[in-house]
């Protein structure tokens, strides 16, 4: 097990890269603590797989260093790094039994028979594979095979870090729940440092203690699921996390408070310090917009019923936004008025969260 430190990592697939846009990774500085559960979250092309390959040693970064327990491993090969990796599609030896699949990495390391049996049985127990040990791996369903891939990492004691690359893509929704819960329990049990790469916010947020949201080769926020939800650092985080994502509305500032379509919007604290900016926006999540008799008037354009809640699409002065309305609250058919929860209404300048403490 290891603490992983990424220092000033930059990477370009073009050897003579000059322009910023030619870098798949702009500049990454991050620390994954020993035994932590982390996720890299972002859309295709955001650089998350590039970063994963740099950590596993498949790619050598153009700039920067990778440290395992404060030891520089940037120039070491993948097999020297002792990494267990679980991919989108399960990797199993089809002709071998489940037992031999699990024993394979240990036999390669020339471990004694008794020790191998002990470990294989322990891990099979953890993964509910005990009954299937004598079966051929080829006969298993996708989730069974993915458990084997996982098990081959778990039997080893020399693993520095366990990495998952979209591991649940081929798994059925009902089984996803089981496997995800299992993964979380296993993390507690074995205490490996685990990193989970995905574009699926639910998988990232539920698995990880801290999530790095990546956008165009940058980590735009590295925070707990709660932080990403309550205080997105960048409009991309607001948009990408949440379903639907955060509402963004153009606004102007008047005596420290944003004004949207002629309505002054309350914040937790007025804005007194402001850097120069090109674009200023108000950000509020659908969950923090309330039906309120004293709010500003809007028109309803559409209501989507998702069972547990409804998403009301509202319009005000040509701007559309989403409102989250729980199952048991009635939506008035006319004269709808809305207000924003000041605690969770934020101002974004050129995409970045305005933070009074950090501003000039």
Partner 1 sequence: MELEFKNLSKKEYDVTLIAPISLKLKPGIFNTILGPTLSGKTTLLRLMAGLDKPTSGEIWHKNINVTNIPVQKRNVAMVYQQFINYPSMTVFENIASPLRVKRIPENEIKLRVQKVAELLKISPLLKRRPSELSGGQQQRTAIARALTKEAELVLLDEPLANLDYKLREELREELPRLFEETGATVVYTTTEPAEALLLGGYSATLHEGRITQFGPTQSVYKDPKSLIAAKTFSDPPLNTVKVEKKSEGIYLDGGVHWKTTKYLKVPNGDYILGFRAHHLKLSLTKADDLKLSGKVLVTELSGSESFVHLQSNENNWVVHAHGIYNFQQDEKIEMYLSLSNCYIFDAEGIRVYDE
Our finding on whether 188 is near partner 1 (CB under 8 A) is yes
For residue 355, what are its two tokens? 């933070």
Our finding on whether 52 is near partner 1 (CB under 8 A) is no
CB 71 within 8 A of CB 152: no
For residue 88, what are its two tokens? 């989108």
13 or 177, CB closer to partner 1? 177
45 or 256, CB closer to partner 1? 45
Return the range that interacts with partner 1 (CB under 8 A); candidates 12-20, 102-110, 221-229, 290-298. Answer: 221-229
**Taken in order 115, 116, 121, 124, is the CA torsion positive or negative?**
positive
Measured from the CB of residue 239, what is the shortest distance to partner 1 in angstroms? 8
For residue 269, what are its two tokens? 């604290």
d(CA 25, CA 10): 5
Residues facing 9 on adjacent strands: 28
Q: Which of 229, 248, 321, 340 binds partner 1 (CB under 8 A)?
A: 229
**What's the number of CA atoms in the CB half-sphere (13 Å) around residue 276?**
0
Measured from the CB of residue 284, what is the shortest distance to partner 1 in angstroms? 13
Could you tell me which residues come within 8 angstroms of residue 274 by beta carbon, excluding any fewer than 6 positions away?
A: 253, 349, 354, 359
Whether residue 244 is preceded by a cis peptide bond, meaning omega within 30 degrees of 0, is: yes
Q: Which of 77, 308, 335, 357 binds partner 1 (CB under 8 A)?
A: 308
27 or 184, CB closer to partner 1? 184
Residues of this chain, 151-180, that bind partner 1 according to CB under 8 A: 172-174, 177, 180
Q: Which of 71, 305, 315, 355 binds partner 1 (CB under 8 A)?
A: 305
262 or 307, CB closer to partner 1? 307
Q: Which of 14, 78, 80, 185 binds partner 1 (CB under 8 A)?
A: 185
Our finding on whether 138 is near partner 1 (CB under 8 A) is no
Q: Which of 16, 18, 19, 44 binds partner 1 (CB under 8 A)?
A: 44
CB 124 within 8 A of CB 130: yes
Return the range that interacts with partner 1 (CB under 8 A); candidates 197-205, 250-258, 268-276, 334-342. Answer: 197-205
Measure Cα distances from 69 to 35, 84, 208 in Å: 12, 17, 21
Measured from the CB of residue 60, what is the shortest distance to partner 1 in angstroms? 27
Q: How far does Cα 13 stand from its chain's mean position?
A: 24
The string of DSSP letters for 287-338 reads: GGEEEEEEEEE-EEEEEEE-SSEEEEEEEETTEEEEEEEETTSPPPSSS-EE
Q: Which of 50, 85, 149, 201 binds partner 1 (CB under 8 A)?
A: 201
68 or 248, CB closer to partner 1? 248
Our finding on whether 13 is near partner 1 (CB under 8 A) is no
The string of DSSP letters for 37-64 reads: EEEEE--TTSSHHHHHHHHHTSS--SEE
Q: Which of 2, 132, 228, 249 binds partner 1 (CB under 8 A)?
A: 228
Site string for partner 1, 233-272 (x = CB under 8 A): ------xxxxxxx---------------------------
d(CA 294, CA 289): 13
Which residues are at the interface with partner 1 (CB under 8 A)? 43-45, 172-174, 177, 180-181, 184-185, 188, 199-202, 205-207, 225-226, 228-230, 239-245, 285, 287, 304-308, 326-327
């Amino acid at each position: 097990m290891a603490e992983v430190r990424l220092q000033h990592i930059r990477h370009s697939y073009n050897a003579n890269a000059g322009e910023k846009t030619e870098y798949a990774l702009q500049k990454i500085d991050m620390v994954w603590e020993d035994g932590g559960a982390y996720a890299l979250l972002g859309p295709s092309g955001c650089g998350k797989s590039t970063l994963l390959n740099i950590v596993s040693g498949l790619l050598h970064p153009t700039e920067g260093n990778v440290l395992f327990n404060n030891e520089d491993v940037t120039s070491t090969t993948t097999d020297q790094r002792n990494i267990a990796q679980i991919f989108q599609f399960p990797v199993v030896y089809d002709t071998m039994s489940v037992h031999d699949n699990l024993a394979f990495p240990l036999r390669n390391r020339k471990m004694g028979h008794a020790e191998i049996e002990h470990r294989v049985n322990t891990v099979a127990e953890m993964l509910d594979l005990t009954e299937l040990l004598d079966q051929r791996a080829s006969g298993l369903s996708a989730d069974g095979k993915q458990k084997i891939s996982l098990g081959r990492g778990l039997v080893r004691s020399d693993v520095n870090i366990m990495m998952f690359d979209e591991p649940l893509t081929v798994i059925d929704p009902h089984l996803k729940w089981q496997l995800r819960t299992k993964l979380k329990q296993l993390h507690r049990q074995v205490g490996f440092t685990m990193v989970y790469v995905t574009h699926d916010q639910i998988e990232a947020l539920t698995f990880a203690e801290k999530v790095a949201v990546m956008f165009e080769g940058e980590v735009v926020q590295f925070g707990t699921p709660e932080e990403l939800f309550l205080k997105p650092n960048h409009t991309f985080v607001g948009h990408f996390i949440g379903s639907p994502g955060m509402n963004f509305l153009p606004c102007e500032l008047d005596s420290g408070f944003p004004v949207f379509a002629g309505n002054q919007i309350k914040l937790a604290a007025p804005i007194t310090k402001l850097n120069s900016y090109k674009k200023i926006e108000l950000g509020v999540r659908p969950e923090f917009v309330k039906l309120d008799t004293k709010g500003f008037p809007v028109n309803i354009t559409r209501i989507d019923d998702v069972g547990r809640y409804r998403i009301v699409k509202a319009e005000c002065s040509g701007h559309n936004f989403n409102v989250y309305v729980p199952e048991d609250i009635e939506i008035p058919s006319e004269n709808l008025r809305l207000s924003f929860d000041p605690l969770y209404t934020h101002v974004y300048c050129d995409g970045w969260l305005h933070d009074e403490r950090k501003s000039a």
